[in-house]
Amino acid sequence: MTFALQWVQSYIGLFGGNASAVTISGESAGGGACMLQSMAFGGDLGTSLFRQVWLLHASINDKDPYKSFSLTTTQVIASSPYLPQQWNYGDFVPSQSYYAFAQAVGCFNGMPQSNLTTTSIFKCLTTKDTLTLQNASAVISGSGRFGTWGFLPVTDGTYIQVSIINIILSFYLLRSKIAIATT
């Protein structure tokens, strides 16, 4: 999504659009993705790529992400946002999905990481064709429990600095203008 929004910023003028008036919106998983976009880099990414989010837009303070954030002038509306459990980067579940995916495309032999590094695995993945990657993704995503996915958003401390549930649970949110609707 970030790359798509960067493209929009670069080329929207060629289509008669206004780069300073971009709105993103989504429902269900798309709503969850927009919520995560609005949180990217502590809320600062959105101010450079879009102005209105029909979702949560918080500017998060690194030192106290649960209590110190403020909403920008961005309008906020969420419609049935779907957000799966959000793990921390490097936790067991997302790591296992990554290694299973790498194994499915032939970039990991399933053995403990003796000589393999995540960099060498990733480099191997970049050499694979799209169809191979898509098929492996389908296998990994289909192998979990119903309602779960093989690849989930993670809290990495940089791009996504805090999980969305911690934002929603924060009492400061109650003083902010936000509407979340479910169907």
In whole angstroms, give the CA distance from residue 54 to residue 26: 8
Give the burial class of 20: count Cβ atoms within 10 A of its Cβ; 0-12 exposed, 13-18 middle, 19 or more buried. Answer: exposed
Q: Each residue of 50-101: pLDDT tens digit?
A: 877 664 333 333 344 333 333 343 444 556 667 777 889 888 888 888 999 9
Which pLDDT tens digit goes with each residue over 147-177?
667 788 888 988 888 887 776 665 444 444 4
Burial of 105 per CB tally in 10 Å (0-12, 13-18, 19+): buried
Locate tokens 């098929």: which residue?
Answer: 135
Ranges of each domain in the chain: 2-83+162-181, 87-142
pLDDT tens digit string along 24-33?
Answer: 877 777 777 8
